[in-house]
Amino acid sequence: MRRMHTFPVIGPGTERAGILILRAWVEENSTERLRVRITQTTKGRESRVAGAGTVEDACQAVRNWLATLLEASNSSG
């Protein structure tokens, strides 16, 4: 059975949202085997594409994106 969330749904006019997509793959014949393509958007902004070659770099990109989303929410609300 699907679990229902107890937090309220935010109306479409007040939502602070964005999309972060990580596409990761392993290259067998390379010294830097991990490849990550990072596509990020936030409401009202164009997409940005970046890359990472380590787990740490990919995690830092996620942290940075979330911090930016929170900053945008705090400054506009």
pLDDT digits (tens, 9 = 90+) for 9-60: 555 556 678 899 999 999 998 888 999 999 988 766 778 899 999 999 999 9
Q: What confidence score (pLDDT) does residue 10 get?
A: 56
Place of tokens 């749904």: 9
Q: What confidence score (pLDDT) does residue 30 get?
A: 84
75 backbone dihedrals φ, ψ, rounded to 5°: -80, -20
**Is the confidence at residue 76, as pLDDT, over 80?**
no
